[in-house]
């Protein structure tokens, strides 16, 4: 019985090794592209493409969408889109290899799965809105910013984790 339980235990990478690999990836990304990592640009490309397909007139008349739309190439022809697709495919591949792909919602016994999904959706929307205001997501503004010792990167990192720490107190009853 004990041996069976040990075999079912998930083995994750050492977080320091993962951080080391992430650091190498950032160096490689700066070397190849001249800029750091970031996923917010991929979402922006997706949104501009969809809105342009649904209502080209609106896209042309909106300054924000128009500056992200190029007549010669599609907004989807952006390396950030391919980066985000690679992350998604890599996550599924990792989950498939380790047998961790399951269609379930992890949540505390104190809340329902639906409430967990609603909180996740609200959190994701707020985080996406914040990334647009900050002109970058955690990987773009914080991680890549800190890697080049930019003051804005440190401010972003402190703001993201500091706010998370402060807000966690009010939402802890949902998880513990």
pLDDT band at 19 (very low <50, low <70, confident <90, very high): confident
* Mean pLDDT, rounded, of the chain: 82
Residues 65-91: b if buried by 16+ CB within 10 A, e if exposed: beebbeeeeebeebebbebbeeeeeee
Domain assignment of residue 131, given as a range: 104-176
Same domain, 19 and 90: yes
The answer to whether the Cα torsion of 31, 32, 37, 41 is positive or negative is: positive
**Domain membership flag for residue 8:** no
Kindly report the pTM of this predicted structure: 0.66
- Residue ending a domain, choose from 60, 78, 103: 103
Over residues 137-165, mean pLDDT = 83
Residue 29: per-residue pLDDT: 84
**Number of domains present in the structure of the chain:** 2
Same domain, 30 and 76: yes
CB atoms within 10 A of CB 147: 17
Same domain, 152 and 73: no
Answer yes or no: is pLDDT of 39 > 80. Answer: no
**Domain membership flag for residue 4:** no
pLDDT band at 54 (very low <50, low <70, confident <90, very high): very high
**Domain membership flag for residue 146:** yes
pLDDT per residue over 70-111, tens digit each? Answer: 777 788 888 888 888 888 899 899 888 888 888 887 777 778
CB atoms within 10 A of CB 16: 8
């Amino acid at each position: 019985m004990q041996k069976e339980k040990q075999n079912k235990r998930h083995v994750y990478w050492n977080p320091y090794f993962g951080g080391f690999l992430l650091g190498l990836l950032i160096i490689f990304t700066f070397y190849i592209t001249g800029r750091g990592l970031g996923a917010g640009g991929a979402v922006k490309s997706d949104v501009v493409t969809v809105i342009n397909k649904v209502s080209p007139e609106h896209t042309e008349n909106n300054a924000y969408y128009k500056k992200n739309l190029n007549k010669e190439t599609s907004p989807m022809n952006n390396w950030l889109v391919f980066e985000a697709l690679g992350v998604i495919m890599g996550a599924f591949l990792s989950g498939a290899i380790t047998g961790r792909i399951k269609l379930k919602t992890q949540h505390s016994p104190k809340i329902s799965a639906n409430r967990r999904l609603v909180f996740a959706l609200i959190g994701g929307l707020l985080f996406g809105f914040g990334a647009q205001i900050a002109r970058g997501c955690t990987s773009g503004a914080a991680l890549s910013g800190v890697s080049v010792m930019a003051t804005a990167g440190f401010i972003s990192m402190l703001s993201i984790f500091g706010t998370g720490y402060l807000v966690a107190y009010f939402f802890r009853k949902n998880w513990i």
